[in-house]
Amino acid sequence: MLKESIIDILILISRYAFVLFIFIFLWSGYKAIIFEKENETGEFINKIYMQRFMIVLTHVLAFVILMMTSKDSVQIIEIMKLSAFGLAFIILFMIFTSLIYKKSDPVIWNCILFLMVVGLIMLERIDHDLAKKQIIWFLAGTFVMIFIPLVFKIVPRFEAFKYLYLILGWIFILSPFILGKERYGAYNWIYIGNFAFQPSEIVKFLFIFYLASALRAYHSIKDLILPSSMAGGYVLVLVLQRDLGGALIFFLTFLILVYVRTSSSLLFFGGLGGASLASVLAYKLFSHVQVRVQAWLNPWKEIDTKGYQITQSLFAIGTWGWLGSGLTAGYPKHIPVVESDFIFSAICEEFGNLFSIGIILVFLLIILRGTLIALKSNRIFYSLLAMGAVSLIAIQTFLIIGGVIKMIPLTGVTLPFISYGGSSVIVSIMITGILQWIQSYYATREEVLEYDDSL
């Protein structure tokens, strides 16, 4: 009883600590941006270190709680090991990214690292084995990302290969029809041995390369015909594979990049209008679309079937209020697929909703810094590529957070950097790699003479 009370008190206090950590993290990020503008390099670096300190504190405090609440001693040692690996990863990630990506944006690195650490904590809380695997995905993603600058160095003109991206993209996106199996009602996974991955994740990567190179040479509306039909094809295939979230991400990214390139609001809103018509059609044609929409409109009506996931998510978010139940004190395992699609609800439950609002702001910080990179570039290919990368992250994050809080119908996509999953983690890290490479390219060559970074 005594030990239980003391642990509970610690958990209660830790709720305030986590909120404090994330808001110091955000505030430091904000101050860093200000100091950067004023060219106060020393102060800028101080703030970056403050952010890193917050990442480490969050990791350490969370794992101390996870160890203390663990039942048996074998488990405690397991968690201790994982915690040490995690810490080592954090530090190595900080070192390697700044070594290999010279003059890249440390705010973005800190943000994705913070998100990955929160994801790791939540996964350890939910299922130790998943957390163990997730660290491997972190390492794999970082490893692949480290090679991006090298590849870029060897192949200097990436815009030349648009047909290669296209063909590879089609091969990947069609592969589930041959190698695929159903998973969570979708047919967008393929299995090679025991290894399952989502080809549409890799296609995302190829897709922004394709769009950036195809849209680069835009002269008239005719130049949009091929990219539009290709994007339309991807979207159609994904809808047939029942990956509605994927279909939306591809379509909206396409629309945004066309808008960036053409500055035509007519095309943008026309595209949105067309998409709305297509959605109505999809609703009429496909029963799985109807199920999603009905579960969104009134989940309470069929709470033990169609509405089960979303209502369980709302219970998790709503029960504990601003500060949450405290780590390990909630019941996130009652939410189906909490480790991937619904991980945000678990964060709301145990870290509280102030913290989860902080998480949304961390994503917004990534988007802000990514947009600045797109603005810095004076080659349209890189600007489009950077905006493509930003859009993939922004749209996917919006779709899944909006879905689990029932603002929009649920489309099963992962929360970038946080959700469990190899394909998702690796591709998210690679997308960040592209973004940082563009930043690094311009910062090291000093090609940017003047750019307007006012938003």
- The packing angle between helices 380-404 and 343-351, to 10°, is 60
Close Cβ partners of 412 (under 8 Å, ≥ 6 residues apart): 184, 186, 243, 244, 245, 337, 341
d(CA 65, CA 125): 10
- The minimum distance between CB 364 and other proteins, in angstroms, equals 5
Toward other proteins, which CB reaches closer, 113 or 372? 372
Q: Which stretch binds other proteins (CB under 8 A): 181-189, 241-249, 282-290, 303-311?
A: 303-311
User: Any contact of residue 343 with other proteins (CB under 8 A)?
Assistant: no
DSSP letter assigned to residue 186: E
Close Cβ partners of 285 (under 8 Å, ≥ 6 residues apart): none
Residue 89, H or E segment: helix 73-100
- Residue 86's nearest CA partner among 101, 67, 105, 106 is 67
User: Any contact of residue 269 with other proteins (CB under 8 A)?
Assistant: no
Toward other proteins, which CB reaches closer, 23 or 259? 259
Q: Which stretch binds other proteins (CB under 8 A): 44-52, 299-307, 411-419, 421-429?
A: 299-307
Toward other proteins, which CB reaches closer, 118 or 367? 367
- The minimum distance between CB 366 and other proteins, in angstroms, equals 10
User: Any contact of residue 315 with other proteins (CB under 8 A)?
Assistant: yes
Toward other proteins, which CB reaches closer, 195 or 300? 300
Q: List the interface residues with other proteins, window 359-418 (CB under 8 A).
A: 360-361, 363-364, 367-368, 371, 374-375, 380, 383, 387, 390-391, 394, 397-398, 401-402, 405-407
| Paired tokens of 243 | 């990956």
d(CA 339, CA 421): 9
User: Any contact of residue 32 with other proteins (CB under 8 A)?
Assistant: no
Do 14 and 61 form a contact (C-beta atoms < 8 A)? yes
Toward other proteins, which CB reaches closer, 174 or 267? 267
Q: How many Cα atoms are found within 13 Å in the side-chain-facing hemisphere of 17?
A: 18
DSSP letter assigned to residue 127: -
Q: Which stretch binds other proteins (CB under 8 A): 169-177, 281-289, 352-360, 409-417?
A: 352-360
Q: List the interface residues with other proteins, window 242-261 (CB under 8 A).
A: 256, 259-261
d(CA 13, CA 125): 18
d(CA 148, CA 102): 13
Size of the residue set binding other proteins (CB under 8 A): 56
- The minimum distance between CB 416 and other proteins, in angstroms, equals 13
- Residue 125's nearest CA partner among 320, 327, 314 is 327
β 180-183/195-197 pair status: unpaired
β 186-192/180-183 pair status: antiparallel
Toward other proteins, which CB reaches closer, 93 or 363? 363
User: Any contact of residue 439 with other proteins (CB under 8 A)?
Assistant: no
d(CA 240, CA 188): 9
- The minimum distance between CB 378 and other proteins, in angstroms, equals 8
Q: Count the neighbouring beta carbons within 10 Å of the beta carbon of residue 11.
A: 19
Toward other proteins, which CB reaches closer, 253 or 436? 253
User: Any contact of residue 338 with other proteins (CB under 8 A)?
Assistant: no
Q: Which stretch binds other proteins (CB under 8 A): 7-15, 20-28, 163-171, 188-196?
A: 7-15
d(CA 138, CA 441): 24
User: Any contact of residue 317 with other proteins (CB under 8 A)?
Assistant: yes
Toward other proteins, which CB reaches closer, 37 or 334? 334
- Encoded one letter per residue, x for contact with other proteins by CB under 8 A and - for no contact, window 196-225 reads ------------------------------
d(CA 162, CA 261): 17
User: Any contact of residue 337 with other proteins (CB under 8 A)?
Assistant: no
Question: What type of residue sits at position 288?
Answer: H
User: Any contact of residue 6 with other proteins (CB under 8 A)?
Assistant: yes
User: Any contact of residue 287 with other proteins (CB under 8 A)?
Assistant: no
d(CA 412, CA 339): 12
User: Any contact of residue 191 with other proteins (CB under 8 A)?
Assistant: no
Contacts with other proteins by CB under 8 A lie at 1-2, 5-6, 8-9, 12, 256, 259-261, 263, 300, 303-304, 308, 311-312, 314-319, 321-322, 330-331, 334, 353, 356-357, 360-361, 363-364, 367-368, 371, 374-375, 380, 383, 387, 390-391, 394, 397-398, 401-402, 405-407, 452, 455
